Structure 1
């Protein structure tokens, strides 16, 4: 069997196991996924599954990616609302928060769980098999999505805000890291029920914290040009 045929077979087996994992997640939730359940549903043994996936965390990561389709489909529409890079990025954050707090277990697996390897490598492997997931997305957004490390993808995108004169180069990495930590902190708080907030309230508060963080870094003379309008009102999140 040639190399091409082996790759085709491997991709086919990948799909069998990810289809099975998707069914298990839909039936029992991602926290109840096990290799054995997935292998049984796919009609193979656990040892066969381990021939294609290093460990359960990797299989859960790949399966979780299957549940981000709605987010990826809505992202371009959200970003179109902005007239400049800062506004577009804030609308992207609103879209991300909407979907991540709707499915917190899914997004925590992708962006927070310990995968024991480089997540960028896993993401590239996923899109090698599921190229169609990116079809229809603008090339600029595809480039961002392919950068799995959240703060890296943020820094890549908001670089445009430097060129537009909204923020300084020295603040790019800081903003990217701080906004990621805001989301992780809010997600952790929400998932562990440390506050009595609905998912909409948690998403709204996160967006507003991100907005405030970014606003403080924007050149004061350019702030009036920002038109981002979060759909979550202050009344929805209790204000600050």
Structure 2
């Protein structure tokens, strides 16, 4: 590794760690370009020399907060053999974490990151190798696919393979469950919901389970 790359990595970690500290101490709303630069001891222009997109910096800092979610979804899905239960467990973890950490979840999974966002994950683990988790390959699309619908289809693949649902019915289930979650998440993220994160999670899972039961029974 040459001196230029070493400096680049060092500067990246300065800004990422400053962003992480701001999220912890002052909340996501205080994470601005100016505040991050000041926290790291540099100016905004220097920050932009290392991060062409502010969303990339938010991704890196937010990903550091994902460890509890990644550990939980990996552990809980390994416990289940029944494909429907696996699907429900995946939704339970996804829903609970997203409503309790909407800004973090949005920065990692939903925010526009420009071209080739998958490369950001490789770069993250280069910078923070100690954060690398033993995530089963079968869960990678669930965690790292940028498209919500694609993640849902993958989660349903076991149900289709078991002959429980046809591809058409699985697609219907995927669309309906995503619409329920998206509506609730959008309201919560934009402060338009009258529910607490816990209530939003409970209501979402109530409807998700009803939709699953209805579609499985009518196949």
* TM-score band w.r.t. shorter chain: 0.7 to 0.9
1:206 aligns with 2:198: no
Instruction: Report if aligned partners of 2:110, 2:146 keep a CA contact under 8 Å in 1.
Output: no
Q: Secondary structure at the match of 1:51?
A: helix
Q: Distance in 2 between matches of 1:169 and 1:132?
A: 40
Would the alpha carbon gap of residues 121 and 48 (structure 1) be closer, same or farther in structure 2, given more than 3 Å must change? same
1:61 aligns with 2:59: yes
Displacement after TM superposition at 1:207 (Å):
1.4
Q: Which residue of 1 aligns with 2:187?
A: 189
Instruction: Report if aligned partners of 1:166, 1:219 keep a CA contact under 8 Å in 2.
Output: no
Displacement after TM superposition at 1:20 (Å):
0.7
TM-score normalised by the chain length of structure 1: 0.78
Q: Which residue of 2 aligns with 1:33?
A: 31
Q: Which one of the candidate residues 91, 95, 98 is aligned to 1:97?
A: 95
Displacement after TM superposition at 1:142 (Å):
3.5
After the TM superposition, list the runs of 4 or more consecutive aligned residues in structure 1 that deviate by more than 6 angstroms.
none
Coordinate RMSD, CA, aligned: 2.6
Displacement after TM superposition at 1:88 (Å):
0.9
Q: Which residue of 2 aligns with 1:230?
A: none
Q: Which one of the candidate residues 167, 170, 173 is aligned to 2:165?
A: 167
Q: Which residue of 2 aligns with 1:82?
A: 80
Instruction: Report if aligned partners of 1:30, 1:60 keep a CA contact under 8 Å in 2.
Output: no
Q: Which moved more, 1:194-203 or 1:113-122?
A: 113-122
Displacement after TM superposition at 1:38 (Å):
1.2
Would the alpha carbon gap of residues 122 and 73 (structure 1) be closer, same or farther in structure 2, given more than 3 Å must change? same
Would the alpha carbon gap of residues 24 and 80 (structure 1) be closer, same or farther in structure 2, given more than 3 Å must change? same
Q: Which residue of 2 aligns with 1:10?
A: 8
**C-alpha deviations, 1:135-165, integer Å up to 9, x for none?**
2222322453232323212212321211111
Q: Secondary structure at the match of 1:36?
A: helix
Structure 2 stretches lacking a partner, 5+ long: none
Instruction: Report if aligned partners of 2:59, 2:108 keep a CA contact under 8 Å in 1.
Output: yes
Displacement after TM superposition at 1:217 (Å):
3.0
Q: Which residue of 1 aligns with 2:154?
A: 156
Q: Distance in 2 between matches of 1:7 and 1:84?
A: 47
Q: Which moved more, 1:57-66 or 1:6-15?
A: 6-15
Displacement after TM superposition at 1:13 (Å):
2.4
Displacement after TM superposition at 1:205 (Å):
0.8
Structure 1 stretches lacking a partner, 5+ long: 222-240
How many residue pairs get matched? 219
Displacement after TM superposition at 1:117 (Å):
4.5
Q: Which moved more, 1:9-18 or 1:89-98?
A: 9-18
TM-score normalised by the chain length of structure 2: 0.84
Q: Which residue of 2 aligns with 1:20?
A: 18
Q: Secondary structure at the match of 1:218?
A: helix
Q: Distance in 1 between matches of 2:134 and 2:119?
A: 23
1:50 aligns with 2:48: yes
